Structure 1
Amino acid sequence: MRILVCKNYEEMSKKAAQMILSQVTLKPNSVLGLATGSTPMGMYKELVSMYKNKVIDFSEVTTFNLDEYYQLPITNDQSYHYFMHENLFNHINVKKENIHVPNGMVKDIEAECSRYDNFIKESGGIDIQVLGIGHNAHIGFNEPTINFERGTHLVDLKESTIEANARFFDKIEDVPRKAITMGTGSIFKARKIMLLACGEGKAEAIYNTVYGKVIPEVPASILQFHNDIVLILDEEAASKLNPEDYKIV
């Protein structure tokens, strides 16, 4: 596990975008696993700027998103489908047919989850998976539980996650209680994983991810076993780590 610590959120976002740039430059038809939420927004802004400056080309790239709310229409401005288009896809030259987000509106959720996992496999697997991390160390919407989920599945969101996401909705009652998410097993299959975290509120989750026991009650702890993972943090998120364990960039 490599840990890179940047001075602030802006520098963290730039570093993350540079890693995506390197991946796509080396392999133009890369398969990118993407995340939503406030943490990767700065990275997406940097990638859009790179595209506008003709530094990066997404024309051969395929994307798979980690998750989507259950029973929230894609036209809703809080759906992750909407988020990704507003913050990235509408501003770059990725092909519409190469964009994949779980469908939270289907009746047969099990079939959708199976379809999604099979589609990732048929696409050759994810080259680099971008992750954020929740205050309770969830990755994707894999909440603390009694076991690690292998594949994409429907999950009940914890109250802490609902409360954290309530800031994006008019009122907490509007926040969906369920979501479709790639499982920790699906995430673990990515050839490279890049986890982003910023702010003092994520410091405990990062500490437990790096030093804690590998247990499903701390979903991100499973990443200790991945053979190619980098954590890109700002100083606040790294504040509980031992300085000898990370590199300042």
Structure 2
Amino acid sequence: MEVIILSDPGRIAGLVADAVERRVRATPSSVLGLATGSSPLKIYEELIRRHRQSGLSFADAHAFLLDEYIGIPRSHDQSYYSVIRREFTNHIDIPAERVHSPNGESDDIAGEGARYDESIRAAGGIDIQLLGIGTDGHIGFNEPASSLRSRTRVKTLTEQTREDNARFFPSMSDVPRHVLTQGLGTISESRQAVLVATGAAKAEAVAAAVEGPVSAICPASVLQLHEHAAVIVDEAAGSALELADYYKHTYANRPKWQEL
């Protein structure tokens, strides 16, 4: 795991966008794993800018979302089906049918996870997976105590997660209690994983994920076992890291050929 601490979210967005652009230009049919929420927004803004100004094309790519709410329709403005289109994919040239998400309206919710995992495999697997982290250490919607080998499945949200997401809904009572989420095992199969976090509210979760034990109590800690994972944070989100000075030293002295 590489840990990178940068001074501001703009630098983080540029670094991650560089990694996505390199992969897509080298392999136009790349499979992207997309997260929603506030963490990746600046990354998406930067990729949209590069598409418009530099001709970065996603026309042959596939994209798979991490998760989806159960209990609201895809047409709801807070369904992740709608959010990712509004915030990213409607602004680039990726065909709509190549943007995939778990179906929270499926008639077979119990079987939807296996179907989604199979669709990822059929596309060739995730090449680069973007991730955020919850204040309790969750990635995707894998709440604490999730199996480190879990597959895409139904999960019940903790009240903390519902409270964190209530700002997107009219009231707390409108926040769904259940979701479909890629499992930790599914996420671990990505060829590259990039977790982004900003703000002091994420500091304890970042420290647990990076420097704590690999444990189901902090689902993001599974990335310590990933063969190509990076955790990229701003100063505030990295403020609880014991080895922060070392991570900064390592990044400042990385070989010129080394890329994210």
TM bucket by the smaller chain? over 0.9
| CA deviations over 1:28-79 (Å, ceiling 9, x no partner) | 1100000000111111111111100134110110000000001211111111
Distance across 2 between alignment mates of 1:37 and 1:130:
11
Checking the alignment, whether the CA contact within 8 Å between 2:146 and 2:219 is kept in structure 1 is no
The alpha carbon displacement at 1:204 in A equals 0.6
Alignment-derived partner of residue 114 in structure 1: 114
Runs of at least 5 residues in structure 2 that lack an aligned partner in the other structure: 254-260
Alignment-derived partner of residue 206 in structure 2: 206
Q: Which amino acid aligns with 1:137?
A: G
Q: Which amino acid aligns with 2:140?
A: G
Alignment-derived partner of residue 75 in structure 1: 75
Alignment-derived partner of residue 159 in structure 1: 159
Distance across 2 between alignment mates of 1:85 and 1:133:
21
Query: Which has the larger displacement, 185-194 or 137-146?
Result: 137-146
Alignment-derived partner of residue 224 in structure 1: 224
Query: Which has the larger displacement, 166-175 or 103-112?
Result: 103-112
1:45-64 equivalent positions in 2, closer than 5 A: 45-64=45-64
Distance across 2 between alignment mates of 1:55 and 1:204:
39
Q: Which amino acid aligns with 2:247?
A: D
Q: Which amino acid aligns with 1:143?
A: E
1:245 aligned to which of 247, 250, 253 = 247
Alignment-derived partner of residue 191 in structure 1: 191
Distance across 1 between alignment mates of 2:146 and 2:15:
34
The alpha carbon displacement at 1:5 in A equals 1.5
Alignment-derived partner of residue 20 in structure 1: 20
Distance across 1 between alignment mates of 2:146 and 2:190:
23
Checking the alignment, whether the CA contact within 8 Å between 1:14 and 1:46 is kept in structure 2 is yes
The verdict on how the C-alpha distance between 1:17 and 1:202 changes in structure 2, with shifts beyond 3 A counting, is same
Checking the alignment, whether the CA contact within 8 Å between 1:44 and 1:87 is kept in structure 2 is yes
The alpha carbon displacement at 1:147 in A equals 2.9
Matched position secondary structure for 2:12: helix
Distance across 2 between alignment mates of 1:146 and 1:130:
19
Runs of at least 5 residues in structure 1 that lack an aligned partner in the other structure: none
Matched position secondary structure for 1:53: helix
| CA deviations over 1:166-217 (Å, ceiling 9, x no partner) | 0111111100001000000000000100000000111111100111111111
Distance across 1 between alignment mates of 2:217 and 2:38:
23
Distance across 2 between alignment mates of 1:186 and 1:32:
14
Is 1:177 the counterpart of 2:181? The answer is: no
The alpha carbon displacement at 1:224 in A equals 0.4
Alignment-derived partner of residue 137 in structure 1: 137
The verdict on how the C-alpha distance between 1:173 and 1:81 changes in structure 2, with shifts beyond 3 A counting, is same
Matched position secondary structure for 2:54: coil
Checking the alignment, whether the CA contact within 8 Å between 1:35 and 1:65 is kept in structure 2 is yes
Distance across 1 between alignment mates of 2:146 and 2:237:
26
The verdict on how the C-alpha distance between 1:198 and 1:76 changes in structure 2, with shifts beyond 3 A counting, is same
Distance across 1 between alignment mates of 2:10 and 2:231:
15
Checking the alignment, whether the CA contact within 8 Å between 2:5 and 2:247 is kept in structure 1 is no
| Number of positions where the alignment pairs a residue of Structure 1 with one of Structure 2 | 249
Q: Which amino acid aligns with 1:245?
A: Y
Distance across 2 between alignment mates of 1:28 and 1:3:
28
Q: Which amino acid aligns with 1:33?
A: G
Q: Quick one: percent identity of the two aligned structures?
A: 41
